[in-house]
Each structure stands twice: as structure tokens, then as C-alpha cells.
Amino acid sequence: MNKLPSHKITKAQWPRESISPHSKSQICNKNLKAPARHFVTQMNVYSDEKNDEKLYKKVLLEDEKYQNVDLSADFQTNEPKSTSRRQVLKWIYHFGQKFKQSCITIQTAIIYFDKLIGKLPIMHIKHESDLWAATCLLVASKFAEPDMNVVRISDLRKVNKKFKLMVMKKYEKKLCSILNWELNFITPAHYRDSVVDEAHELEYCSKDIYGHNDTIILMSTELRNIKYSTIECACYLYFKDLQDSHIAKTLINSFGSSVRDIKRCIEYLSGYKKPEEKPIHIPKAIKTNMNLTAEIKLPSVDSSHKKNKSVSNTGRSSTFEDSNCPNRSISREQECANKYIQKYNVTSKISKFKEKNSFCQQPLARCESVDVVNNDDMNKSASKLPGFMNRSLIICREKAVLRKRLDLSCEADGSKGSDTTAESRPIAKNYAYGVGRMYYCNSKISSKMKKVRKSQDQNLSQVSIVKSLKMTKDSQLNNSRDSALPPGFSKNNMGTGSKQRRHQRLLKKCRYPLGKKTSLVYSKADRVKVYKISQKELESVPVILTRSRLTNRR
């Protein structure tokens, strides 16, 4: 007699199999459904690949009806509001990529923000839009990102000093309670694998990973009531230029999405990109310096906007100099501007300006990648480095930015400057306020730094680095930092404060350990900081760290 366990199950206390998985309330709650696909592809561990695939699509597509709800009609229809929403999404996207978050994380952050809009009065969000955006990104990365890659509040603080630990905690709790702790949402990115696989099965396309830029643009739009799977499909088709081929039809059929929706998406995508290229984004820092350039009388050239801006851009570099040697800088500035305008014709100007802009937009102090230095070797070496090199790279980067500025001024002179030219050096001195010594030593030794320092320099060679600009010019630095934010975001509030306080703050920062293996020693002479980095790592960054004679200034 074979009795099934179900025979016993009929009793009330016994654990029953959960009933009717597709009742509405459950579906709204259960959210993420995806089978074990990664280990199928990676290790071939499990044999039920095909069944899994089918299940995956089936479950995902069934859930979709309930997932994509119209969130907040009010926020969409009113134009200024929707633009501000788009800015927030831009912010999330920009910094999500900076922190190397996956597309799922970024998209969930966007969904959190959308839910938030529906539940809070809009004025609340509008005043603190950047704070809310940051919390959304933070919570999303905590939830979806693997453990090592989670964004920390200290990272966010480097973006904007507004994001203090206590403030962020408060907002985090608020966000969680507003969302009722339901943090798991399906995003378009969840459909990506199946879209790519579907296309791959038809033997037309490679399995390349494609940019998720388009998806986020689509998510940020007024196009509503479109399924996420169609969004992903449309992005794929647009990215691969397959709109008209018959793969498109089969793809659309298999995902059950309507042709009209996909056409709308693609139209929007193709329409969106063109206007994006035309207007050139002016960072705020430049705008504020427009007054300065007005004082310098420029030769009258046809006043197209672009030229004015280019002048203002060079004018900005003058602001860094004038406290030390104002006369010289202004005269220099005039020359630069004149020559610059005469030398280049309009087309080259635009391209030049874009380049400059691109570096202007980079935040100064917080960076993980070294994209300012457009050097392939540099990028490669940066990717090899472990995490704790970041700090030194920041310094490198600051120097690189400085150099770029110098280069620009030299270029305007026509002498295609590099830092080795005699002209640029004195200016570099002006910028440098303190000079650090960099020691080669192993990270293991770092705890025994004192001993190393006693035995001193025989094994260690010195490398000097320009630490930062003069303290008095911090506010200007802050300006340039802010320029990284899209317009509409507030500046740092930390600009005001006495010199002493700032100094103390710097001191405090230095005493904390920076990473797991790095530590920072603050020597007695106030302005010298010592960074410890192993030799191998230093060798891999030869482009930027150069030996200079500035060490003697200590």
C-alpha cells in the first residue's frame, strides 16, 4: 500500500502547498521571478536548461500585467515637473555609472523614485530632489548589488557634502517606510537576457551586451503604459539597427508586444538623440564667471553663443590665478582669447569646446576612473589597480586637471603646451600649496610606518605630487565640482567657513584610514601628507606621477 503524503496533509495544521499562485494579491507581492539561468550558462551544472527558459519567459510575461502600473499622472503631464524628474533620473544614471552599478540597480533606483513621486507631495521632493535621488540609488544598490559593490554613504559624500551620514540614514528610513519595505521590482533589464537569447537563436546577432542608456531614456519619458519587455525589445532593435528586418517581427511576436508601441519607442529614441547633441551644456561654474570676462574687453567677433562661451571658459582659468598675480593673468588672458578666436575656425571650435566641457563636467575630488587623462595606457593600468589606489589617483587626477588647464592656456598661445614647457611651470607653482612625499612600500608594512620612516629613504624614493589647490581657493574648486551636476541642483552648502575649520577638517580626514590597506599619515609639517602605495602599483601609473623638484619646498 503506497500512501501519498497528501493523505496526511488534509489535517489543518499540516503545511499545505501554497494555493493558487496567480491570485492577484500574490502576484503583486512576489515580484521577481527568474530561474537559475546563470549557472546554466556558466557551468553547465543543470540539465533542465530548456524547461527553465520556458518557465522564465512564461512567468515573467504573466507577471508583467500587474507590474507596469501607471504611477503618477500628475507628475508627468505638468511640464516643469516632468523636466525636473528627468533631471533626477539623469543624476541617478550619471552617478550610478560612476559608481559602477549594474543596470538593474540603476533601473530599480528609478522605479523607487517613481513610486516616491506617487506617494509624497511633489513640493517635498522638489526641494530635496538630489537627496531623494541619492537615497534611491543607495537603497537600490544595497538591495540589488553584490556585497562588494554596494555604494557607501562615504562615497556619496564625495559627490556632495550635503549627503551626510545622519541625513542619509534618516532619508533611508523614510524611503523604506514609504515603500513599505517592498523593494523588489521587475525592471526592463530583467528581460534583457531573454531578448538577447531570442535574437541569438535566430542567428542574426551576437550576444554582445549593449548600452542601457536607451532604456533609461525610455524610462524617463512620458511614454507610459508600455510594457517593460517591449521597452527592452525596442531598445535592442534600435541599438542593433534592426527595426525593419523580419527579426523584429519574430521578436515582437514572441514577447507579445504590439507593433505600435515599439514604433512609438523607436521614434522617440531617434527623436530624442538629435536635439541632445545640438545644445552645448554650460556648467554653472562658467556661467558665474561670465562677469569676469566681461571686464576683459575682447575684440568684437560675431557673437554666436559658442564663441562667448569659449572665451568664458578661458576666463575661468584666470580666476584661479588672479589672487597671486592678477596683472599678469589678465594680460595673458587677453592674449589667449584673441589668439584662440583667430586661430580656430568655427567647426574646430565646437569640437574643442566639447572636449573642454567634458573635462569641466568631471567632478574634481571624487573619482574612481581616470577618464580625464585621455590615455589608453592609463585607463588600462587603472583597471588593474585595487580599490585602495583610488585616493592617490584622485590626487593624480587633480594634477591632471590642473595640467589640462595649463595645456589649454598654452594651446591658446599657440605653443601646444605640455607641462614640460618652461611657461607652464611657474603657473604650476602657483597652484601648488603643499607638496607631499610618496613612499614606495608594501601595503603590509604600512602599519609599521614609523619604523620605515626611521630607517628612511634608502629603499624609498621620493615622488612628489601636487596635493590640491590653495585653501583659499577651495570655493572655486567647489564650483567646478558642482558643474558635474545637471542644472537645477543646488551647490554645496559647505563653501563658507573659516580657514581654520577647513584646516581641521582636512586634518581629521587624514587620520581616518582610507581603505582596508591604505592609511594616511599626517606629518608634523602641516601641509605634507604621506601616502603609501606599493611599488608595483606606482609603476603602473607612470604617466601622471612624475618626480619634480617641488619636494624641496617642504
Provide the binding-site residues for other proteins, judged by CB under 8 A.
Answer: 1-5, 7-8, 11, 13-18, 21, 29-39, 41-47, 102, 104, 138-139, 142-144, 146-147, 150, 152-154, 165, 168-169, 172-173, 176, 181-184, 189-190, 193, 512-513
Phi, psi of 532 (to 5 degrees): -110, 130
| Shortest reach from residue 4's CB to other proteins, in Å | 6
Distance CA 542, CA 533 (A): 13
For other proteins, the closer of residues 143 and 440 by Cβ is 143
| Shortest reach from residue 35's CB to other proteins, in Å | 6
The answer to whether 362 and 404 are in contact (CB under 8 A) is no
| Shortest reach from residue 391's CB to other proteins, in Å | 15
**Residue (of 77, 78, 178) closest to 136 by Cα position:** 178
| Shortest reach from residue 275's CB to other proteins, in Å | 33
For other proteins, the closer of residues 122 and 183 by Cβ is 183
| Shortest reach from residue 17's CB to other proteins, in Å | 8
| Shortest reach from residue 12's CB to other proteins, in Å | 10
For other proteins, the closer of residues 13 and 303 by Cβ is 13
Phi-psi region of 387 (alpha: psi -120 to 50; beta: other; left: phi over 0): alpha
**Residue (of 412, 296, 300) closest to 352 by Cα position:** 412
| Shortest reach from residue 32's CB to other proteins, in Å | 6
CA 12 to chain CA mean position, Å: 54
| Shortest reach from residue 179's CB to other proteins, in Å | 10
| Shortest reach from residue 26's CB to other proteins, in Å | 9
**Residue (of 341, 358, 342, 331) closest to 306 by Cα position:** 341
Query: Per the structure block, which three cell numbers stand in for 186?
Result: 521587475
SS3 of residue 215 by DSSP:
helix
In terms of Cβ atoms closer than 10 Å to its own Cβ (0-12, 13-18, 19+), residue 430 is middle
For other proteins, the closer of residues 178 and 296 by Cβ is 178
The answer to whether 433 and 468 are in contact (CB under 8 A) is yes
The answer to whether 265 and 215 are in contact (CB under 8 A) is no
Phi, psi of 340 (to 5 degrees): -60, -45
How do beta strands 435-440 and 463-466 pair?
antiparallel
For other proteins, the closer of residues 30 and 352 by Cβ is 30
Q: Per residue, what are the HEC states of 449-489?
A: HHHHHHHCCCCCCCEEEECCCCHHHHHHHHHHHHCCCCCCC
For other proteins, the closer of residues 14 and 414 by Cβ is 14
| Shortest reach from residue 113's CB to other proteins, in Å | 17
Distance CA 213, CA 219 (A): 10
Distance CA 155, CA 98 (A): 11
For other proteins, the closer of residues 149 and 358 by Cβ is 149
Phi, psi of 466 (to 5 degrees): -85, 115
